[in-house]
Structure 1
Amino acid sequence: MSQTFSHEQHYARAARRHYEDATYLHDDARLPNADHHYGFAVECALKSLLLRYLSATMAPLKPGGKPSLWPWTPGASGKPQKYGHLPEIWSDVAMLVRGRSGSTLAAVLTSTDPFATWDVADRYHGAPSLSTHTMKERKEAAIRILTLHEQAIITGILR
């Protein structure tokens, strides 16, 4: 019997899966692919948090339409604010958690963004200028974000 998961559960499971793949690849010195999976792990964890705690939805963007492909919130101008890939989602979530519950997450996201130069398109050609320092920062950021994500799931509170 197949189990049905919510969007936030799918993102949570994907975050863990990408992180585990990143760790495996990192341990095998396959750094460009490890880096990419660390980025996807963070992106998926942030999307899960958006849906669980920050009023984002996957509802259709138009009445009667198909569910959205990305989490979104109503924008100030009435136009939906969509949350896609890194590095934009990092700063978007940082803006949402300021002044709300989630001060620990806000502190992580408002510190230096190790994914500022991360690009989803690197899956095609790798990150040619990936330094060991950048790799270390991204791995550590992924660990922090996934830890906060898992704590939020366990406690029901975004810290």
Structure 2
Amino acid sequence: MTADFYDAHLRHWEDGEALYEAKRLANADHLYGFAAECGLKCLMKAFGMVVDPSGTPLERRDRVHVRNGEKEGTWGRYETYRSGRKAASYLLPAGDPFSDWDVSQRYAHRSCFDAFRVGLHRGGAAAVKDLVRKARLEGVIG
């Protein structure tokens, strides 16, 4: 199976939105993180991130989630690839809305997820979605 960052980005966003509308905030929150991660990796690949035939990034530092605890996540790694003329206009909003998101939160109790927290992550994922849509319209990604 080959990684398809674009499709994964879309389906995580769509499912996150469905869960958000159903007031299932804990799982929506988790999917917003994955939507942002996959969207950023889609852009990073277009901007020069090298992947193996299965789609796995060759650079170990690029094999991360949107945020991994104290480690730099995809939100931070994205800036590494956003250089050069073709990527210059693909700027993320200031600040990392996923600074408190972690993949291990899938084990957390649902009461740990409130509308404010999920709203920040939803906004971050939406910002990535807008950049991915722009890249599609401009032919940067297929």
User: For this structure pair, what is the TM-score category when the shorter chain's length is used for normalisation?
Assistant: 0.7 to 0.9
Q: 1:127 to 1:69 in 2, by over 3 A?
A: farther
Match for residue 112 of structure 1 among 74, 95, 100: 95
- Post-superposition Cα deviations, 1:43-94, rounded to whole Å, max 9, x if no partner, equal 11111111122x11222xxxxxxx5663234xxxxxx543321211110112
Matched residue count: 136
Q: Are 2:17 and 1:37 equivalent residues in the alignment?
A: no
Q: Are 2:66 and 1:86 equivalent residues in the alignment?
A: yes
State the superposition RMSD in angstroms.
2.5
**Which amino acid is 2:50 matched to?**
T
The residue aligned with 1:146 is: 129
CA contact (8 A) 2:33 2:125 kept: yes
Larger radius of gyration: 1
TM-score (norm 1): 0.73
TM-score (norm 2): 0.80
Q: Distance in 2 between matches of 1:11 and 1:49?
A: 9
Percent of aligned pairs with the same amino acid: 29
CA contact (8 A) 1:47 1:83 kept: no
Q: Distance in 1 between matches of 2:19 and 2:97?
A: 19
CA contact (8 A) 1:19 1:38 kept: yes
**Which amino acid is 2:42 matched to?**
S
Q: 1:29 aligns to what SS in structure 2?
A: coil
Residue ranges of structure 2 left out of the alignment (5+ in a row): 68-72
**Which amino acid is 1:145 matched to?**
V
The residue aligned with 2:44 is: 50
Q: 1:57 aligns to what SS in structure 2?
A: coil
Q: 1:99 to 1:56 in 2, by over 3 A?
A: closer
Moved more, 39-48 or 136-145: 136-145
The residue aligned with 1:121 is: 104
